[in-house]
Structure 1
Amino acid sequence: MGLKWTESLDIAIALDEKHPDVDPRFLNFVDLRDWVVVLDEFDDDPHHSGERVLEAIQAAWIEERE
């Protein structure tokens, strides 16, 4: 069972592990979306992301870093 768009915290953790040198506060949504869909664990429709979903992932990633 892979990651779905609704699992923002799990996606954020996976992104943090894959991109430890990136500050998620300065990541644009285009790059964020592209990075999510290429995660090995990601298993959802790549076209079902939206601004709210990406904001939730970015916020979870920022919180994970703090």
Structure 2
Amino acid sequence: MKWTEVEEIAIQLSEAHPEIDPTRVNFVDLMNWVLALPEFDDDPAHCGERILEAIQQAWIDEVA
């Protein structure tokens, strides 16, 4: 899984962290959680604020 797979990342984050409210996640934690996903395999340097915002929004949409 790569940074561009925003929807899949959001699904996996919602499954890995069901107790977390994605509206309250800071970007440092979000990035670390994405990097810790078992299927994630991309360069951390390719991540930026826009990608993290998109992941966070997709996660919010996933649990809504």
CA deviation string 1:3-33 (max 9, x = no partner): 1000100000000000000000000000000
CA distance in 1, matches of 2:44, 2:24: 22
Given candidates 10, 13, 16, the residue that maps to 1:15 is 13
% identical aligned pairs: 62
Give the unaligned 5+ runs of structure 2: none
Which runs of 4 or more aligned residues in structure 1 lie more than 6 Å from their structure 2 counterparts after TM superposition? none
Gaps of 5+ in 1: none
Aligned CA RMSD, in angstroms, stands at 0.5
Distance in 2 of aligned mates of 1:31 and 1:40:
16
TM-score (norm 2): 0.97
Q: Number of paired residues? A: 64
TM-score after normalising by structure 1:
0.95
